[in-house]
Amino acid sequence: MEDLDRALDAVGPRLRTLRQQRKTTLAELSATTGISVSTLSRLESGARRPTLEQLLPLARAHGVTLDELVDAPATGDPRIHLRPVAANGMTMVPLTRRAGGIQAFKIVIPPDGRRREPDPRTHEGYEWLYVLNGRLRVVLGDHDLILMPGEAAEFDTHVPHWFGSADEHPVEFLSLFGKQGERAHMRVRPKGKSKTD
């Protein structure tokens, strides 16, 4: 029981850190989770202990698991619990641990999490993206696309590319990244194009 008390007491500072890392205001988080600003403030300050009904939407909004949110101790579960990595305004959760082959990530970009002005880059490899939630802006060479949930794109990463949230809402997507020659075979057409174009 002491372990549970300690874990719940540590949630407040963790919630504040996650929100500040994502540059999200209490009002924005309230709109995303349905939890009032005053309750969020009390949770972050430790003046109120979170309930499961509050932890679930907060974990979803921050792109972390419940275990990560409460820093739960290992239970002997054989599944691998990979930790998210924050970089370049994004949170990346590795879904694979293999050193070679195709690497899988779940990526969450908060609103304004990356610079709004695209800064395309190139590197070795091939990438496949699949949007889970939100709207993903993808700048790829001369193309500037908006991908919606359920849409996918694939490209050679030698082509200058950049991606970020297309609006004032977070975007979540899966990324499969592999060395040259390892490809997924699903494509999305630019909006407004028909199969006969």
Distance CA 149, CA 120 (A): 23
pLDDT at 76: 55
Inform me whether the pLDDT recorded for 189 exceeds 70: no
Q: What is the pLDDT of residues 114-123, one digit of tens each?
A: 556 888 888 8
SS3 41: helix
Are the C-beta atoms of 127 and 197 separated by less than 8 Å?
Answer: no
User: Taking 60 as the threshold, does the pLDDT of residue 196 lie above it?
Assistant: no
The highest-confidence range among 2-6, 171-175, 193-197, by mean pLDDT, is: 171-175
* Mean pLDDT estimate for the chain: 79
Q: Is the overall model pTM greater than 0.75, yes or no?
A: no
For residue 135, pLDDT beyond 50: yes
Closest to 110 measured CA to CA, from 25, 4, 3, 42: 25
